[in-house]
């Protein structure tokens, strides 16, 4: 069977939900037994998002083979059973870099190198390479239709239909149908103009996914169909939902997967979406109450910077049948405030990955608060490194403990590996991708995983300095996970604490709603236990106050009680 291609574009505005829509379609087709893959085409000239500011681009997602990619690849992996690779994330920078390198090597035989056909051909070859051996390849085109930087990608996919035939390629366009409260109307003009832009460059969409806050009535769908030259039944409502894991269910209820398969002449039968229905039900009606987790970071103004972490916490909540409320705490502001005002009463505290020294002291204050107040703490990447620094300063007496990343003076309990000191470039030069970790028995890590050896994804440059491991161990730290090849610390814990665990890797990248990561499951479980204990203590305090007040009243009105 020939590989079928689904190209997903977006209009009107950015961040409209193309990544989630693509991931949801992948889930639908995978549930029908089809072998799928997904790709993201980004129009920016950066080679990858690894050096881009999270405020501009959001989270950097890391694949098993160590590629720094767009956060939408995280959605693709969470919604499906596939593990994506470097080749599944393509930027304009990568494409131009490859074409220019070929020109320098003389591969174009002296010809004039142009966007068409050289850039578009390179884009098409990359798509075909990823799609090889798959039933369906879903390709998301980043950016918004009408942006000049997206044109080479749109031209490349336009050519695909002519190259491979109409029965093998479909175009799906995601657009906006806003509801204006002032007039009480759903407005179709943004969708009409967006499709018009798409048709101007030669692409007629087969399906429209209309992002809106309500189910589109038949008359609105008919109007959109008329002005966009599309069948009314192919105008699909992409309705806002309470959680992202409802998106496959919304599409399934409208028969999107059936319509796609009919259009591509794929003979498959739906097997239902029971697992997605169970996930949605668990999120809607948690049986064990609510836990509040504080995420202490410096990118809290754009929570997309911690997308995989927040979703992994939701997965842990599903496994524990609780609702998780996330409180994002600005680590810079925490530096100059009393931590009690922000951290008291939290069920658990998490410090996610990050780079640079901005907000570091605030994170250290949060870690000290979690350690001394016996609040469950989960540290990821820099969250491990700062836990080492906090413990070194306040328990081991190493008052100048720091990381070489933050300062050139002091006790470098966190330092560069020898080979990293010779690195001159920034992009793609860290410890990236999957590495092994050997877990010590009878530790929180061993209890959480139920394994003695694991493999997890990394994205960092600095490591725990092995010269300080002895003094840290003597003062109660437990190094529960070690990389066996390089003898590097991967996990650490604290004795005599209800739940204090940190890891140098990024477990959030491997968590899925139907396969939650064991560390997030264990952390949320510890947070739930802490919440129940807090409630118990509050009830005891209230009982004491009531008893004291009752005694005072009795002594006042009944002298024999004195």
The closest of 352, 293, 349 to 323, measured between CA atoms, is 293
- Furthest C-alpha separation in the chain: 111
Q: Where are the beta strands (DSSP E) in 142-217?
A: 169-176, 179-180, 185-186, 207-212
Query: For position 55, what pLDDT does the model report?
Result: 64
H or E, element range at 54: helix 54-57
Which residue, chain included where needed, has tokens 């798509």?
A: 127
Residue 164 tokens read as 């491979």
CA Rg value for the chain? 27
Average pLDDT over residues 130-158: 95
Structure tokens at 54: 């999270």
pLDDT digits (tens, 9 = 90+) for 160-212: 999 999 999 999 999 999 998 777 899 999 999 999 999 999 999 999 999 99
Tokens 């960092």 correspond to: 460
Contact 139, 41 (CB under 8 A): yes
Task: Please confirm, yes or no, whether 381 is among the known catalytic residues.
Answer: yes
Q: Which of 57, 315, 460, 506 is catalytic?
A: 506
Whether the Cβ atoms of residue 449 and residue 518 lie closer than 8 Å to each other: yes
Count of helices and strands (H, E) across the chain = 19, 23
When mean pLDDT is compared across 297-301, 322-326, 430-434, 552-556, the lowest value belongs to 552-556
pLDDT tens digits along 274-318: 999 999 999 999 999 999 999 999 888 888 889 999 999 999 999
**One of 68, 368, 493, 508 is an active-site residue; which one?**
508
Name the catalytic one among 210, 228, 261, 381. 381
Main-chain dihedrals φ then ψ at residue 411, nearest 5 degrees: -90, 110
- How far is the C-alpha of 314 from the C-alpha of 308, rounded, in Å? 10
Question: Per CATH, which fold does 286-532 belong to?
Answer: Rossmann fold (3.40.50)
Domain ranges of the chain: 4-279, 286-532
Query: Phi and psi (nearest 5°) for 435?
Result: -135, 155
pLDDT for 321 beyond 60: yes
- 526 pLDDT exceeds 80? yes
Residue 536 zone, left/alpha/beta (φ > 0; ψ -120 to 50; rest): alpha
Fold of 4-279: Rossmann fold (3.40.50)
- As a whole number of angstroms, the distance between CA 295 and CA 304 comes to 13
Residue matched to tokens 């090597």: 105
The closest of 264, 523, 267 to 380, measured between CA atoms, is: 523
The two domains 4-279 and 286-532 share their CATH topology (first three levels equal): yes
At 104, the pLDDT band (50, 70, 90 cuts) reads very high
3-state secondary structure (DSSP) of residue 182: coil
Active site residue 508: yes
Stretch among 25-34, 362-371, 536-545 having the lowest mean pLDDT: 536-545
SS3 289: coil
DSSP letter (8 states) at residue 498: S
Mean pLDDT to the nearest integer, 471-475: 96
Q: How many residues does the chain have?
A: 562
* All residues at 6 or more sequence positions from 155 whose CB lies less than 8 Å from its CB, including other chains: 115, 116, 120, 201, 202
Q: DSSP character for 116?
A: I
How confident is residue 555, by pLDDT bands cut at 50, 70 and 90?
low
List, as own/partner pairs, every contact residues 513-519 make where C-beta atoms lie below 8 angstroms and the sequence separation is at least 24, other chains included: 513/78, 513/245, 513/279, 513/311, 513/314, 513/315, 513/318, 514/275, 514/279, 516/312, 516/315, 516/316, 516/318, 516/319, 517/312, 517/315, 517/316, 518/448, 518/449, 518/450, 519/378, 519/445, 519/448, 519/449
């Amino acid at each position: 069977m020939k590989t079928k291609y689904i190209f997903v574009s977006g209009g009107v505005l950015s961040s409209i939900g193309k990544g989630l829509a693509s991931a949801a379609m992948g889930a639908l087709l995978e549930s029908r037994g089809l072998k799928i893959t997904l790709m993201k085409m980004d129009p920016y000239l950066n080679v990858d998002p690894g050096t881009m500011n999270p405020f501009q681009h959001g989270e950097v997602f890391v694949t098993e083979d160590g590629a720094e990619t767009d956060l939408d690849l995280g959605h693709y992996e969470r919604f499906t059973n596939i593990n994506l690779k470097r080749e599944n994330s393509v930027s304009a920078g990568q494409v131009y870099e490859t074409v220019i390198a070929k020109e320098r090597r003389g591969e174009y035989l002296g010809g004039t190198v142009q966007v068409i056909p050289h850039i578009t051909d390179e884009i098409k070859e990359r798509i075909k390479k990823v799609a090889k051996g798959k039933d369906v390849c879903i390709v998301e085109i980043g950016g918004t239709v009408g942006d000049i930087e997206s044109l080479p990608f749109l031209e490349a996919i336009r050519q695909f239909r002519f190259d491979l035939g109409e029965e093998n390629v479909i175009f799906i366009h995601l657009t906006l149908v806003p509801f204006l409260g002032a007039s009480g109307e759903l407005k179709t003009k943004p969708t009409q103009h967006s499709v018009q832009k798409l048709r101007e460059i030669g692409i007629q969409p087969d399906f429209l996914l209309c992002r809106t806050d309500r189910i589109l009535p038949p008359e609105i769908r008919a109007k959109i169909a008329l002005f966009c030259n599309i069948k009314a039944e192919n105008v699909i409502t992409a309705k806002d939902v309470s959680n992202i894991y409802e998106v496959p269910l919304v599409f399934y209820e409208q028969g999107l997967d059936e319509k796609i398969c009919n259009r591509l002449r794929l003979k498959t039968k739906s097997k239902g979406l029971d697992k997605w229905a169970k996930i949605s039900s668990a999120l809607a009606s948690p049986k064990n109450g609510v836990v509040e987790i504080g995420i202490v970071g410096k990118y809290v103004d754009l929570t997309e910077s911690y997308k995989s972490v927040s979703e992994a916490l939701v997965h842990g909540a599903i496994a524990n049948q609780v609702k998780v409320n996330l409180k994002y705490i600005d680590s810079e502001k925490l530096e100059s405030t009393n931590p009690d005002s922000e951290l008291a009463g939290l069920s658990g505290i998490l410090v996610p990955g990050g780079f640079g020294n901005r907000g570091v002291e605030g994170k250290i204050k949060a870690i000290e608060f979690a350690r001394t107040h016996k609040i469950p703490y989960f540290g990821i990447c820099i969250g491990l490194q700062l836990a080492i620094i906090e413990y070194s300063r306040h328990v081991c007496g190493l008052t100048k403990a720091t990381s070489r990343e933050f300062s050139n003076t002091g006790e470098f309990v966190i330092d560069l590996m020898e080979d990293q000191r010779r690195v001159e470039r920034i992009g793609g030069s860290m410890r990236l991708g999957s590495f092994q970790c050997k877990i010590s028995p009878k530790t929180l890590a061993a209890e959480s995983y139920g394994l003695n050896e694991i493999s997890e994804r990394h994205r960092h440059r600095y490591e725990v300095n092995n010269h300080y491991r002895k003094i840290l161990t003597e003062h109660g730290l437990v190094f529960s996970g070690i990389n066996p090849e390089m003898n590097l610390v991967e996990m650490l814990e604290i004795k005599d604490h209800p739940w204090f665990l940190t890891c140098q890797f990024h477990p959030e990248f491997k968590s899925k709603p139907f396969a939650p990561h064991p560390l997030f499951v264990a952390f949320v479980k510890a947070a739930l236990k802490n919440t129940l204990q807090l409630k118990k203590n509050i009830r005891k305090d209230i009982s004491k106050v009531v008893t004291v007040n009752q005694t005072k009243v009795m002594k006042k009105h009944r002298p024999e009680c004195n």
